[in-house]
């Protein structure tokens, strides 16, 4: 008897402790939400009850239907950049259907298909923001593991519902499949530099380095702009795929100096999607006079930059990161018009940990997309 009383008291204390611990996620906001979160650096995702803010006057609430799994999600869940706050619900390639709108929302109505990418907020005032370049705003709020102005942490698209300011939402075109969610990050990351650096003129010859999530989108957009496309990869094994599956015109093995030399001076621009440290001299050598090498991958260590090849040919090395909201809208409209979709493997929510393991090994063509709308089950 005594024993069982003690036991019950302990149990009550434990559950009281537990509810205090969980309070911040479950009760900090009024709307109950459910998603999959990583709790520690193992990066293993598991179900989490949390909460979303009330739909504010300029907010749109929506049901998440599909969410892509991006490499950035891997860095975040494993805290590889040392800056993640746990628990983290990742996901920033999100397509959904509107379920509620605030009374000052004029762009969207209930039932609309919409998309949300890397950002859910910015300062709205700086020079970047006023030029539709929220993606370069120092005050940007990331969709996952960002910090809202009220100090709370953002939770991404591996979840049942979201509440986002309408400014950061794009209209999802009717004839674009909702599974094409990776356009919202991988897509715009390659579309934006092709446009901004003027590498979108028919007849130009564009190189794409690396054939993964980003690279395969770069090939598709460059082809749609009417350019000739050469894929540059360390491995000959990707040749058939690049040419037959993705429609590239030619292929270069970057480890074959003879091939690289023979193709010297042939490209107007290169989109370099590789995130590992790699030599860039051979790439600069591929450029014509006035050619541009644009980096969109993010090697963790500095690359060596040989200057002579830049001088002798007025060449340029640049960079680019995702795109502003206006450009994301333009990009999805373009994708609809030209039938451009990422190659995806759609998987159920419970498959997420396996998908993450396979993504680490690049064992996917070319992006996983979680079918959240049909498979996220409350548990």
Ligand X SMILES: *[C@@H]1O[C@H](CO)[C@@H](O)[C@H](O)[C@H]1NC(C)=O
Question: Which residues lie across from 52 on neighbouring strands?
Answer: 31
70 binds Zn ion (CB under 5 A): yes
Tell how strand 267-272 and strand 205-209 pair up: parallel
Minimum distance of ligand X from residue 123's CB (angstroms): 7
Stretch near ligand X under the rule CB under 6 A, chosen from 140-148, 199-207, 248-256, 293-301? 140-148
Residue in the block written with tokens 């149990």: 11
Residue 304 binding target from Zn ion, ligand X, none, CB below 5 to 8 Å by type:
none
Q: Give the C-alpha distances (Å, rounded to integers) separating 78 from 36, 74, 141, 200, 244.
A: 14, 6, 20, 37, 36
Residue 316 binding target from Zn ion, ligand X, none, CB below 5 to 8 Å by type:
none
20 binds ligand X (CB under 6 A): no
Q: What is the DSSP letter of 26?
A: H
Determine contact, residues 355/333, Cβ cutoff 8 Å: no
Restricted to residues 46-105, the positions that interact with ligand X (CB under 6 A) are 47-49, 75-76, 81, 83-85
Among 31, 97, 142, 310, binds ligand X (CB under 6 A): 142
Stretch near Zn ion under the rule CB under 5 A, chosen from 50-58, 128-136, 190-198, 261-269? 128-136
Between 128 and 159, whose beta carbon lies closer to ligand X? Answer: 128
Task: Tell the burial category of 65 from Cβ atoms under 10 Å away from its Cβ (0-12, 13-18, 19+).
Answer: buried
Handedness of CA 337, 182, 322, 232 (dihedral sign): negative
CB atoms under 10 Å from CB of 122, counted, come to 23
128 binds ligand X (CB under 6 A): yes
Stretch near ligand X under the rule CB under 6 A, chosen from 1-9, 45-53, 167-175, 232-240? 45-53
Handedness of CA 56, 163, 49, 72 (dihedral sign): negative
Residue 70 binding target from ligand X, Zn ion, none, CB below 5 to 8 Å by type:
Zn ion
Q: Give the C-alpha distances (Å, rounded to integers) separating 151 from 36, 146, 147.
A: 22, 9, 6
Residue 189 binding target from Zn ion, ligand X, none, CB below 5 to 8 Å by type:
none
Q: Give the C-alpha distances (Å, rounded to integers) separating 282 from 46, 82, 268, 274.
A: 44, 33, 15, 14
292 binds ligand X (CB under 6 A): no
138 binds ligand X (CB under 6 A): yes
**Closest to 212 measured CA to CA, from 271, 125, 273, 291:** 273
136 binds ligand X (CB under 6 A): yes
Minimum distance of ligand X from residue 194's CB (angstroms): 20
Restricted to residues 136-155, the positions that interact with Zn ion (CB under 5 A) are 137
Minimum distance of ligand X from residue 310's CB (angstroms): 22
Residue 129 binding target from ligand X, Zn ion, none, CB below 5 to 8 Å by type:
Zn ion
CB atoms under 10 Å from CB of 106, counted, come to 8
Among 31, 74, 97, 126, binds Zn ion (CB under 5 A): 126
Give contact residues for ligand X (rule: CB under 6 A): 47-49, 75-76, 81, 83-85, 126-128, 136, 138, 142, 145, 147, 379
């Amino acid at each position: 008897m005594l024993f069982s009383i003690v036991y019950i008291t302990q149990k009550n204390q434990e559950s009281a402790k537990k509810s205090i611990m969980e309070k911040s996620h479950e009760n900090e906001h009024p709307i109950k939400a459910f998603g999959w979160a990583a709790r520690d650096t193992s990066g293993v995702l598991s179900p989490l009850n949390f909460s979303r803010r009330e739909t504010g006057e300029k907010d749109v609430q929506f049901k998440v239907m599909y969410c892509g799994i991006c490499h950035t999600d891997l860095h975040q869940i494993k805290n590889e950049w040392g800056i993640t706050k746990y628990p983290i619900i990742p996901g920033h390639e999100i397509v959904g259907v509107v379920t509620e709108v605030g009374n000052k929302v004029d762009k969207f109505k209930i039932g609309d298909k919409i998309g949300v990418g890397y950002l859910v907020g910015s300062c709205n005032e700086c020079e970047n923001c006023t030029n539709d370049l929220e993606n370069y705003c120092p005050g940007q709020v990331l969709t996952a593991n960002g910090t809202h102005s009220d100090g709370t942490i953002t939770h991404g698209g591996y979840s049942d519902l979201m509440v986002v300011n309408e400014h950061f939402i794009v209209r999802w075109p009717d004839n674009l499949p909702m599974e094409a969610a990776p356009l919202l990050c991988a897509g715009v990351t390659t579309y934006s530099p092709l446009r901004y650096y003027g590498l979108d003129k028919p007849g130009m010859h564009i190189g794409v380095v690396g054939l993964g999530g980003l690279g395969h989108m770069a090939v598709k957009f460059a082809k749609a702009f009417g350019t000739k496309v050469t894929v540059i990869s360390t491995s000959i094994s990707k040749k058939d795929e690049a040419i037959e599956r993705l429609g590239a015109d030619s292929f270069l093995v970057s480890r074959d100096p003879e091939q690289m030399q023979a193709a010297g001076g042939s490209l107007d621009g290169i989109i370099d999607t590789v995130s590992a440290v790699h030599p860039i001299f051979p790439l600069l050598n591929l450029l014509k006079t006035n050619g541009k090498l644009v980096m969109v991958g993010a090697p963790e260590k500095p690359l060596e930059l040989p200057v002579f090849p830049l001088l002798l040919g007025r060449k340029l090395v640049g960079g680019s990161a995702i795109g502003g909201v206006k450009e994301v809208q333009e990009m999805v409209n373009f994708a609809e018009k030209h039938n451009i979709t990422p190659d995806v493997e759609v998987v159920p929510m419970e498959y997420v940990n396996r998908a993450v393991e396979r993504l680490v090994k690049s064992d996917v063509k070319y992006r996983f997309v979680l079918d959240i709308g049909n498979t996220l089950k409350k548990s």
